[in-house]
Chains A and B, each alone.
Chain A
Amino acid sequence: MFYALSGVRVLEVGEHISAPFCTKFLAGLGAEVIKVERPGQGDSARREGPFPNDEPHPEKSGLFLYLNTGKKSITLNLEAREGKKIFLDLLRKADIIVENLGAGVFDGLGLSYPHLERINPQLVMTSISPWGQTGPYRDYQAEDITIQAMSGAMYQQGNPEREPVKSGGSISHYRVGASAFAATLMALHHAENTGEGQFVEVSSMEVSVHDDFFSVELYMARKVITTRQKAVLMLPCKDGWVYFRVFPHEWPRFEKLLGFDIEQDERFVTMEQRRLHAQELEALVLPHVRERSKEETYHWAQAAKVTAGYVANVQDVVESQQYRSRRYFVSIDHPIAGNLAYPGTPVEMGDIPWRHSRAPLLGEHNAQIFGGLLRYTREDLVRLRQTRVI
């Protein structure tokens, strides 16, 4: 079976979410992804939950297990001289490095791209950082909330009468991981076609600004600042919330579904009018949904080709007929965490299967990579372990 990325070797020197999310997709597409983790502690995601029964264990973190499917793990101390040497040996046999240790960290380790490029001219090196490798904020700290705030997204989200509120989870980290994925594969395409590798820089703040809807353009054109607003037609059903986000061309269908003449009603002709008369509009729609369940309402609207959705919680998602029939959730066995269901892949690559094998134990592939690939002897490995290089 030839996978889209068969024969591609990736070194991930990644922590937490962004780089691992990027390389999770590379692994799913068939690349050999080797995580280079710090001896002893490994990826910080191993220490972050969720854990089964909330009992922390470095091999049982749900975040880590989920983000690192399909990968191998080696441990290597990049600060030690010998660790660096091994890393350079490994690099000769790799196509891609993806790292997110922070702006300038690789340079500080003596592993800057110009240096690495001399050893492997085809190497693609992708560096993900919150702010990018240059600029006045380069060395600033950031968590997900910092990026959501600085990118302009958060200001637009929430109750207009209250403080802005971030999107749940750590979505800015996932976003930048997706951009790194696309950019890395572009650079790989170039490297394989021309023999020329390059450095790929990805900035989380910039990716989040890029991903904003239209607030920047609106401000540039009209000096209007997009702020928080209540969603029109987010309505309570019997058991939750349903949201109608009806495309302009669907309004005649929506009107028919509701049995009245929205389109001819001056109050609702344009999106702006609908927003101005939101309360009246909602009062007209509410009786149609109040007695229905959220899923019933969703099917009722969608069957008439009116775009609507319900606010699904994680249980709703897991139990959704759509996800189930597509076998989106996959069951993966793990020697320590046991057999668990995981979110699968949102991608179908024709008939090529997605690679979903379990996440690696810390340093699980040391012998395979150092011994097999790099031909270190058993004595070398013992010594390296004793000196805490691996």
Chain B
Amino acid sequence: MAQTKPIGEGVRVLDLGMFWAGPTCTSLLADAGMEVIKIEACRHPDPDRITPQGLAYVNNDPGQDPWNRGLVALRRHRNKLGCTLDLTTPEGRDLFIKLVRISDVVVENFRLGVMERWGLGYSALQRENSQIIMVSVSSSGNTGPEREYGSNAPIVACLGGLLSITGYTDEASLFVDITTPDPLAGTLAAGLVMAGLRYRKHTGKGLNIVLSQRELVTNIIGEFIMDYFMNQRIAGPSGNRHPYMAPHGCYPCKDEDSWITLAIRNNEEWLRFCQVLGVPELASDPRFADGVARWHHQDDLDSIIASLSRSYPPHELMGRLQREGIAAGVVQTARDVVNDPHLASRGFWETVSHPRFGPHAFKGRGFYFSKSPVGTRSPAPCLGEHNSYVFGELLGLSPEEIARLEEKAVIGTVPSLEVRGRIPSLRSGVNP
């Protein structure tokens, strides 16, 4: 039987995404087989190229071209093609418009107003290609007094209400949730692209899709908003506790800074828990007789459990409890995650062989199709790697015309001097 074709085959996406949310959306589309062309300018490459997240370079080596070697960018941009184009120049804008004419989708997550300033707002793009689908992963939506305000993941976690319900009950939250909004918004946006393509197929019309990341954060705490509307209750942080489960928390284990979480849902689980830990007397303690009693004596309960959990290495305790059907989970570190036997056995890690940097394992995405391939076909592009494909093959420019664009710095394969000056490993003055 013929191999099932990739889901997104035949769909071309122009990816103007920067940092996290936009590139996450397009990485999922690229994984599903769409032709995603990442477009950056040598004066404005994806900021992750300039200061790679965590300064994590492939093989721990920034080399002479650190902008191509950040591990997070190598993951987020895999399966994409990469070209450079300075959209602030007339030639750059003109070439982008030509690309729009032969593409299906544009994804961007600039601050609102940037695309308009370049004359590349939705109505301008639609004039060139009436069927174009443009997805803007915006901060606060494209209307309203704060529409042009900037944001990043922790800021929308603050503004959307998530941080107000996150943290300890007895001290202010002097930390932020950095992981929630961006990848969530990017993932949702990938679904919206698919919905937009379906709309286009049935109506022949393009669509301007705008996602507000801030509102999306509010959507994932919807029950707390409902509680406010129903009961005027303003939720605060509840630490690791739960509205009705008890025990429900995070407890110390044997090794330094090692922890386990527990969520016990009913009396049967509680009895089994007491059995596993060898403390039958707790099971008959009237303070902990049922869910309501346990919930009301959580301080006592938590300190008793903490004194017991300290005797165990976390993964051992998790195994013992899970074998008895109890939702126990180790607070895993990045090292634990990388070495996690479950992830390994499921094929979560995808090895990409880069012609210059060799093979490297990257995170998967958490979903799989039984027939369509989804996964890594090609490594992330170096800056401007596919310029000749994009401008030559797709747009029909001659090698001379491409060389001229390079001379005028409309395209290129090296960040501008000013940008290189901001790259940590090059700051010592070493320029390639």
Using known A-B contacts A149-B329, A189-B7, A318-B225, determine if residue A216 contacts B202 with beta carbons closer than 8 Å: no
Chain B contacts for A149, CB-based, 8 A: 250, 259-261, 329-332
Cβ A154 vs Cβ B261 within 8 A:
yes
- Residue A252 interfacial (CB < 8 Å): no
- Residue B37 interfacial (CB < 8 Å): no
- Residue A134 interfacial (CB < 8 Å): yes
20 more A-B contacts (CB under 8 A) besides A149-B260, A175-B187, A209-B348? A50-B223, A54-B231, A135-B343, A143-B242, A146-B328, A149-B330, A169-B224, A178-B188, A181-B191, A186-B7, A196-B371, A203-B367, A212-B179, A217-B56, A221-B54, A230-B174, A309-B158, A317-B218, A340-B226, A345-B219
A-B contacts, 13 of them at CB < 8 A, read: A132-B346, A135-B346, A156-B179, A178-B187, A181-B188, A182-B188, A200-B368, A206-B364, A213-B53, A218-B71, A221-B71, A309-B158, A313-B234
Binary flags per residue of B217-252, CB closer than 8 Å to A gives 1, else 0: 011111111111111011111111011110011111
- Residue B118 interfacial (CB < 8 Å): no
Using known A-B contacts A168-B237, A207-B367, determine if residue A146 contacts B263 with beta carbons closer than 8 Å: yes
Chain A contacts for B159, CB-based, 8 A: 309-310, 312, 317, 320
Chain B contacts for A169, CB-based, 8 A: 162, 165, 220-221, 223-224
Contact of A65 among B226, B365, B368 (CB under 8 A): B226
Binary flags per residue of A119-153, CB closer than 8 Å to B gives 1, else 0: 00000000000011011110011111111111111
Chain B contacts for A50, CB-based, 8 A: 223-224, 226-227, 230-231, 233
Chain B contacts for A175, CB-based, 8 A: 180, 183-184, 187, 220
Within B322-345, which residues are at the interface with A (CB < 8 Å)?
Answer: 322, 325-338, 340-343, 345
Cβ A321 vs Cβ B144 within 8 A:
yes
Cβ A209 vs Cβ B226 within 8 A:
no
Cβ B329 vs Cβ A146 within 8 A:
yes
Chain A contacts for B346, CB-based, 8 A: 132, 134-135, 203, 206
Residue in chain A with minimal CB distance to B250: A163
Give Cα distance in the complex from A152 to B58, angstroms.
21
Chain B contacts for A320, CB-based, 8 A: 159
Chain B contacts for A154, CB-based, 8 A: 250, 261, 331
Give Cα distance in the complex from A51 to B244, angstroms.
14
* Chain-A contact segment, one of B203-211, B282-290, B382-390: B203-211
Give Cα distance in the complex from A329 to B226, angstroms.
11
Cβ B155 vs Cβ A307 within 8 A:
yes
By secondary structure, the A interface counts as mixed
Chain A contacts for B7, CB-based, 8 A: 186-187, 189-190
* Chain-A contact segment, one of B91-99, B192-200, B393-401: B192-200
- Residue B408 interfacial (CB < 8 Å): no
- Residue B216 interfacial (CB < 8 Å): yes
Cβ B155 vs Cβ A216 within 8 A:
no
Chain B contacts for A162, CB-based, 8 A: 168
Using known A-B contacts A220-B56, A315-B234, determine if residue A136 contacts B209 with beta carbons closer than 8 Å: no
* Chain-B contact segment, one of A34-42, A76-84, A242-250, A369-377: A242-250
Contact of A217 among B75, B160, B213, B328 (CB under 8 A): B75
Ranked nearest first, the 8 interchain pairs of A and B with the lowest CB-CB distance are: A62-B226, A168-B165, A146-B329, A206-B366, A207-B366, A346-B215, A185-B194, A182-B191
Chain B contacts for A143, CB-based, 8 A: 242, 245, 248, 263, 265, 327
Residue in chain B with minimal CB distance to A338: B230
Contact of A152 among B50, B218, B333 (CB under 8 A): B333
- Residue B361 interfacial (CB < 8 Å): yes
Give Cα distance in the complex from A188 to B250, angstroms.
40
Using known A-B contacts A209-B363, A210-B365, determine if residue A347 contacts B165 with beta carbons closer than 8 Å: no
Binary flags per residue of B140-158, CB closer than 8 Å to A gives 1, else 0: 1111111101111111101
Cβ A4 vs Cβ B158 within 8 A:
no
Chain A contacts for B203, CB-based, 8 A: 2
Residue in chain B with minimal CB distance to A321: B145
Query: Which of A48, A50, A202, A342 has most B Cβ within 10 Å?
Result: A50
Give Cα distance in the complex from A182 to B32, angstroms.
11
Interface size class of B (residues with CB under 8 A): 35 or more
* Chain-B contact segment, one of A86-94, A348-356, A381-389: A348-356
Chain B contacts for A290, CB-based, 8 A: none
Give, as a whole number of angstroms, the nearest-CB distance from A352 to chain B: 7
Give Cα distance in the complex from A65 to B59, angstroms.
50
Cβ A247 vs Cβ B152 within 8 A:
yes
Chain B contacts for A302, CB-based, 8 A: 146, 149-150
Cβ B369 vs Cβ A245 within 8 A:
no
Cβ A142 vs Cβ B327 within 8 A:
yes
Give, as a whole number of angstroms, the nearest-CB distance from B52 to chain A: 8
Using known A-B contacts A155-B331, A165-B166, A221-B58, determine if residue A314 contacts B424 with beta carbons closer than 8 Å: no
Chain A contacts for B151, CB-based, 8 A: 307, 309
Chain B contacts for A176, CB-based, 8 A: 366
Contact of A347 among B162, B209, B222, B249 (CB under 8 A): B209
Q: How many residues of A contact B (CB 8 A)?
A: 156
Contact of A147 among B53, B155, B329, B361 (CB under 8 A): B329
Give, as a whole number of angstroms, the nearest-CB distance from A237 to chain B: 12
Contact of B209 among A53, A142, A349 (CB under 8 A): A349
Cβ A219 vs Cβ B335 within 8 A:
yes
Give Cα distance in the complex from A141 to B321, angstroms.
10
Cβ A227 vs Cβ B218 within 8 A:
no
Cβ A189 vs Cβ B197 within 8 A:
yes
Give Cα distance in the complex from A252 to B18, angstroms.
20
Give Cα distance in the complex from A292 to B192, angstroms.
39
Chain B contacts for A182, CB-based, 8 A: 28, 187-188, 190-191, 194, 367
Contact of A179 among B144, B238, B366 (CB under 8 A): B366
Query: Which of B32, B160, B229, B260 has most A Cβ within 10 Å?
Result: B229
Within A103-130, which residues are at the interface with B (CB < 8 Å)?
Answer: 113
Residue in chain B with minimal CB distance to A180: B367
Give Cα distance in the complex from A135 to B335, angstroms.
19
Query: Which of A152, A180, A181, A188 has most B Cβ within 10 Å?
Result: A152
Cβ B248 vs Cβ A198 within 8 A:
no
Cβ A315 vs Cβ B228 within 8 A:
yes
Chain B contacts for A194, CB-based, 8 A: 4-5
Binary flags per residue of A311-343, CB closer than 8 Å to B gives 1, else 0: 111111110111101101100000000001111
Give Cα distance in the complex from A143 to B260, angstroms.
13
Give Cα distance in the complex from A129 to B283, angstroms.
31
Residue in chain A with minimal CB distance to B146: A322
Residue in chain B with minimal CB distance to A271: B51
Cβ A196 vs Cβ B329 within 8 A:
no
